């Protein structure tokens, strides 16, 4: 495939579209060279620290962080080896965001980051509910 070329997997709803993303999320920062890779590497270290400091019994947080770290490593690899991230999943999500004609093309690593963030947010919200529901010991 050449950049911009698409192959339909399911009508116009799901396509494989080759995109070379030199920028950050949603194609932002396209002209910033190695800055997205540098930022990703800098953010990776605190994530690894938090992962290794998170107790083994906190499996949801560790799973979420594993997804985020894995996705970040995949995108960092692409940036270092190719100079850009290879995006290819092209989904049309109609009427969710009216200003976008199509959802931006993404890759498996981006999906891992998103799933990981959802898991961590669920854990945070669950902990908030536990602390609100806990009886006072006074």
Q: What is the pLDDT of residues 2-47, one digit of tens each?
A: 988 889 988 888 999 999 988 766 555 556 666 777 888 999 999 9
92 has a pLDDT exceeding 70? yes
Q: Is the pLDDT of residue 60 over 90?
A: yes
- Give the per-residue pLDDT at 39: 87
The angle subtended at Cα 125 by Cα 113 and Cα 128, nearest 5°, is: 145
The catalytic site residues sit at 87, 110
Give the largest Cα separation in the chain, rounded. 67
- Report the C-alpha gap between 30 and 46 in whole angstroms: 25
State pTM to two decimals.
Answer: 0.80
């Amino acid at each position: 495939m050449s950049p911009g070329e698409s192959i339909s997997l399911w009508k116009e709803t799901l396509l494989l579209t080759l995109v070379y993303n030199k920028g950050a999320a949603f194609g932002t920062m396209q002209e910033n060279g190695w800055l997205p890779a540098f930022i990703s590497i800098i953010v990776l270290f605190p994530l690894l620290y938090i992962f290794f400091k998170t107790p083994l019994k906190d499996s949801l947080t560790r799973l979420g962080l594993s997804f985020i770290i894995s996705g970040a490593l995949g995108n960092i690899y692409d940036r270092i080896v190719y100079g850009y991230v290879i995006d290819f999943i092209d989904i049309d999500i109609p009427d969710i965001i009216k200003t976008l004609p199509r959802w931006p093309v993404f890759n498996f690593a981006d999906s891992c980051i998103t799933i990981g963030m959802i898991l961590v947010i669920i854990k945070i919200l669950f902990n908030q509910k536990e602390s609100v529901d806990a009886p006072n010991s006074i």
